[in-house]
Structure 1
């Protein structure tokens, strides 16, 4: 086992530190024990264990104490992270706990660090079957990659080529003691039902099913790599006029399978969640068939796509703003607008908008569009609405641009750059 683990670790990218996700169960304890021996004997990065306290089980405190004892005996630092892992309405408890766990770990990682998790070959086989039952395509059927970007660094699974029986045999020979999560036997969870009722029957008929399914996941990963490469090639050809957008005309020239593949690649590059097949088809129909003056929007959990003119824009759902909100600003210091995630800097008013420094000594009023605004622009008074249209600023952004007034006069529009003197 240790030879396989060592070989997997040798393939990892250079890192300032490794973090091991430690639950206290058999799998993560074996990984911790193996890493402890290898890190001492080879030139591997320093190791720290991370335990996430979900608070979902009455035994959670005992599991934390067990992990503390293990790490103390091995002389490995341990960081305990407490999370609220309660599921939202309609959310799977498994998915909620997993998401909370990974968010907490990513938040404490530094650039280039690697999180090591103890997923093994049986986990891989189960994941592929679960994805198949959910109707996943190659990306889902590729199951769990050995290495993937995670937070500011990486997540690695160095035990994927090992069967759980191998890990259990190592644990018994090494005299390891581990905890058992009682939720792992609850058949209400899909993975547990698969693990307890389905996989034993498959192994009885096809003893090498775990190896076979893991190989199938690897082949799907290769297919997904080819699809991703094709998506990158197509996306280069269908760039929109605005940065990060896609051209509707360009997309319309792709066959439907390539179009879907390109859109998935685009969304993935932006770090947005994937829509389901039906929502993706709805997106294609609405965006490609909309009239030139329409601004359709298609949204799903965690993402939305909007069209303006020939460009498709993808983003996190915009947080509503109170368009009636007004701030008083004496621009001797920056003004933070957390609702918009921006900070107004007086230096920009001077350098970009060329405002007289004497104006910047009086309180300014900052607010949003209400209609009918005009502004002095390159020697003439212009309608702000017309200027925003000419600048190609999408409608949903226009209503979120801070307008800066001196008394009743509009003197600057934040985000509408370059300013009138350029």
Structure 2
């Protein structure tokens, strides 16, 4: 069986050996076997680079001993070793398991090159547990796909070469090669859902149906294939209704069935890296958004995210970006740092350049926000009227208007950065300097 496991592993990673292989090495059985297999491949192919990274969570009194164990094993195997300490910040609303998992991924990204392939030691029993957890949560095909053998996450490629083999096979391999591994005492704590499944549920399932790990893995693979097909069609339909990254056309969205609308919206949120809202919140869209009056501005909120309607657009907002900017003086510097993280850039231009703003060096200049009653006349227009009216005519949503930097020259509105220059300030006068305004970030 050990040779079969090695051959499977070697065939699996054969396409990835041109880049560094980084083993996520906890020191437990799974990652210990994984590291040994990777070293056997390196022995057969000396050009293969093998590294190991160990994440020190600090949750166990034995964490320092585990770090030392992993470093010692890597020294014995002549494997470059990286130990990374993380501090977990977990509040009452968060799962410690989820927080620790995300911290591991972030720490691995911090110490691995972008072209590395990161090897994870999850095996068939882990896949069974993941499937059952997703089933318990009421997941659809995406969740029931469980863990993928290859996954790209935040710019890193993760590989799980051992998913077809159960823990018993890995134990057999480890004992054959006299491998030493550590046992995390927290793995016995059945307050954690995965441990409860591992110790109380899956043994019963395997006793009744010995091949349940294999059949559930097959189901997960079939769900993954169906999900890929669904996403192909969903991508095409999302492209038909998307106005911008953060906006969908409601009329075009309504041309599809309600089931397809939900699928398109979920894919859209996923692409924007937004948390998917609860199903009951999505169910409110037809009544509160589609049936809303044209001038209404309904809003649905969950977590830090919001869905808003403006005219015929369904907009996605991250409320963390809705920072109130404060007024600032401008005295000729190349840029102003805004409170919401953006930068207002001032570039000196040549007289006659299109879209420039002309200011006298002696004039007082301020950057303000949210003052829409000032008179304004964009280039190409003839009459001044309140800025609010122009922004409405330009179909700019209200929450975007409040973020637009207003350049005030001697208390007169001279320009709206990133949009228009007032016609009074768009032509040179004696002694004036031409400036171009841009927004970055």
Q: TM-score, normalised by structure 1?
A: 0.91
CA offset at residue 302 of structure 1?
4.6
Separation of aligned partners in 2, 1:358 and 1:364: 10
Cα deviation code 1:8-66 (max 9, x no counterpart): 11244x76433221111111111111112213423765232121111111111111111
Residue 141 of structure 1 corresponds to which residue in structure 2? Answer: 144
Aligned CA distance change for structure 1 residues 59 and 363 (closer, same or farther; 3 Å): farther
CA offset at residue 147 of structure 1?
1.2
CA offset at residue 364 of structure 1?
3.0
Any stretches of 5+ residues in structure 1 without a counterpart? none
Aligned CA distance change for structure 1 residues 250 and 180 (closer, same or farther; 3 Å): same
Residues 1:220 and 2:223 are matched in the alignment: yes
Separation of aligned partners in 2, 1:43 and 1:284: 61
Separation of aligned partners in 2, 1:32 and 1:121: 18
- Structure 2 counterparts to residues 406-421 of structure 1, below 5 A: 406-416=409-419
Separation of aligned partners in 2, 1:174 and 1:352: 74
CA offset at residue 296 of structure 1?
1.9
What is the aligned residue count?
417
Residue 431 of structure 2 corresponds to which residue in structure 1? Answer: none
Residues 1:9 and 2:10 are matched in the alignment: no
Cα deviation code 1:320-358 (max 9, x no counterpart): 4235x2222223322222x32211111288766412364
Residues 1:114 and 2:122 are matched in the alignment: no
Q: TM-score, normalised by structure 2?
A: 0.88
Separation of aligned partners in 1, 2:376 and 2:46: 65
Residues 1:184 and 2:152 are matched in the alignment: no
Residue 356 of structure 2 corresponds to which residue in structure 1? Answer: 354
Residue 401 of structure 1 corresponds to which residue in structure 2? Answer: 404
Separation of aligned partners in 1, 2:409 and 2:127: 63
Q: What secondary structure, in the 3-state scheme, does the structure 1 residue paired with 2:152 have? A: strand
Residue 377 of structure 1 corresponds to which residue in structure 2? Answer: 378
Residue 331 of structure 1 corresponds to which residue in structure 2? Answer: 332
- Report the structure number with the largest CA radius of gyration: 2
Residue 301 of structure 2 corresponds to which residue in structure 1? Answer: 299
CA offset at residue 2 of structure 1?
0.9
Cα deviation code 1:273-326 (max 9, x no counterpart): 222222222345433222221222222235322221111122433344235x22
Aligned CA distance change for structure 1 residues 419 and 39 (closer, same or farther; 3 Å): farther
2:365/2:410 contact within 8 Å kept: yes
Aligned CA distance change for structure 1 residues 348 and 180 (closer, same or farther; 3 Å): farther
Residue 429 of structure 2 corresponds to which residue in structure 1? Answer: none
1:331/1:364 contact within 8 Å kept: no
Aligned CA distance change for structure 1 residues 344 and 126 (closer, same or farther; 3 Å): same
CA offset at residue 258 of structure 1?
1.1
Aligned CA distance change for structure 1 residues 61 and 403 (closer, same or farther; 3 Å): same
Residues 1:318 and 2:320 are matched in the alignment: yes
1:149/1:155 contact within 8 Å kept: yes
Aligned CA distance change for structure 1 residues 371 and 417 (closer, same or farther; 3 Å): closer
Separation of aligned partners in 2, 1:246 and 1:370: 29
Separation of aligned partners in 2, 1:265 and 1:191: 28
Q: What secondary structure, in the 3-state scheme, does the structure 2 residue paired with 1:88 have? A: coil
Aligned CA distance change for structure 1 residues 112 and 55 (closer, same or farther; 3 Å): same
- Structure 2 counterparts to residues 25-64 of structure 1, below 5 A: 25-42=28-45, 45-64=48-67
Aligned CA distance change for structure 1 residues 45 and 297 (closer, same or farther; 3 Å): farther
Residue 342 of structure 2 corresponds to which residue in structure 1? Answer: 342
Residues 1:256 and 2:258 are matched in the alignment: yes
Residues 1:389 and 2:401 are matched in the alignment: no
Residue 100 of structure 1 corresponds to which residue in structure 2? Answer: 103
Q: What secondary structure, in the 3-state scheme, does the structure 2 residue paired with 1:306 have? A: strand
Separation of aligned partners in 1, 2:86 and 2:158: 20
1:352/1:419 contact within 8 Å kept: no
Residue 172 of structure 2 corresponds to which residue in structure 1? Answer: 169
